[in-house]
Amino acid sequence: MIEIENVRKSFGTLEVLKGIDLTVNKGEVLTVIGGSGSGKSTLLTCINGLEPINAGKIVVDGTEVHAKSTDLNRLRQKIGIVFQQWNAFPHLTVQENVMLAPRKVKGMPKAQAAEIASKQLKHVGLGDKLDVYPGRLSGGQQQRMAIARALAMSPDYMLFDEVTSALDPQLVGEVLDTLRLLASEGMTMICVTHEMKFAREVSDRVAFFHQGVMAEIAPPADLFGNPKDPELQKFLAATH
Ligand code: ADP
Ligand code: MG
């Protein structure tokens, strides 16, 4: 499980996380919504130790992420992260791209990495694209490749940062379907998204961020059906 305790994070004089408290349980799907600049991406990058924090602590399965003694490379193997865009290596096939991390980070033999890559690419519906070069994929297929790449490390947690935001509207659905599939399989996920319908349907809880504060957190029926925070009410009125 992921335990976030009074986490503060600043960039220079700008405080972007102002004391976040949040626990994400095993098997839970948490969606994070909120306006641009509210600290959503920063939270994800702090969770997997890409960014240091200024106060508080983040504990993943008993390991404090920002403790000096923590082996971040090892910790990151259990936390997959997928961003808005991932630039695959253009001269490697889709399968070779997905094999890279298991080969380099885990030192996995080539045949085993190839098998895992093939399995995860089938999992996200790209079983017929193994030998294709990434440049030939649509945006939605590229995002699914990025998800397969993260899954190839057998993570216990997946963090998704607006993975559909750069896509043409007609390609959003196939990527959300992949996230739905992972959720139905019991993956523990934190999804930053603008897709309110997705948040409503898939999340166990939804967290609303506003100016570095988690202003509200509740199951989707409550958060969308009976929003209490005035900023959340405004946000929802503007997005519906
Ligand atoms: P969100 O994902 O909710 O849009 P972010 O977490 O990306 O918000 O950013 C929160 C605030 O932190 C914004 O004001 C942004 O400009 C600032 N910020 C994010 N990353 C950096 C950085 N590496 N250096 C300086 N400021 C940053
Ligand atoms: Mg962001």
Cβ contacts of 175-184, under 8 Å, gap ≥ 24: 175/140, 175/143, 175/144, 175/147, 178/124, 178/125, 178/144, 178/147, 179/147, 181/123, 181/124, 182/147, 182/151, 182/158, 183/29
Q: What percent of the chain has pLDDT over 90?
A: 97
* C-alpha of residue 17 to centroid of ligand 1, in Å: 10
pLDDT more than 70, % of the chain: 100
Give the CATH number, domain containing residue 170.
3.40.50.300
The residue-averaged pLDDT of 146-158 equals: 97
> Strands (DSSP E) along 105-218, which ranges?
157-161, 188-192, 205-210, 213-218
Residue of higher predicted confidence among 105 and 219: 219
Q: Say how many Å lie between the CA of residue 31 and the centre of ligand 2.
A: 13
Structural domain contains residue 105:
no
Pocket flag, ligand 1, residue 39 (CB < 6 Å): yes
Q: How far apart are CA 170 and CA 164, in angstroms?
A: 11
CA of 39 to the centre of ligand 1 (A): 6
* Ligand whose nearest atom lies closest to the CA of 45: 1
Structurally, the chain folds into a number of domains equal to 1
**Contact 42 CB / ligand 1 (< 6 Å):** yes
**What range does the domain containing 219 cover?**
2-87+157-239
Between the CA of 160 and the centroid of ligand 1 the distance, in Å, is: 16
Q: Is ipTM over 0.85? A: yes
Residue 102 lies in a domain: no
Minimum CA distance residue for ligand 1 atom 16: 37
The alpha carbon of residue 240 and the mean position of all alpha carbons in its chain are separated, in whole angstroms, by 24
Q: Does 89 contact ligand 1 (Cβ within 6 A)?
A: no
100 domain-assigned:
no
Residues 45-104: tens digit of each pLDDT: 999 999 999 999 999 999 999 999 999 999 999 999 999 988 899 999 999 999 999 999
Mean pLDDT of 23-30: 97
**223 with 215: CB under 8 angstroms?**
no
pLDDT surpasses 80 at 240:
no
Query: Would the CB of 212 count as within 6 Å of ligand 1?
Result: no
Q: Which residues pair with 31 in a beta bridge?
A: 191, 206
Residue carrying the six token digits 């948040």 = 199
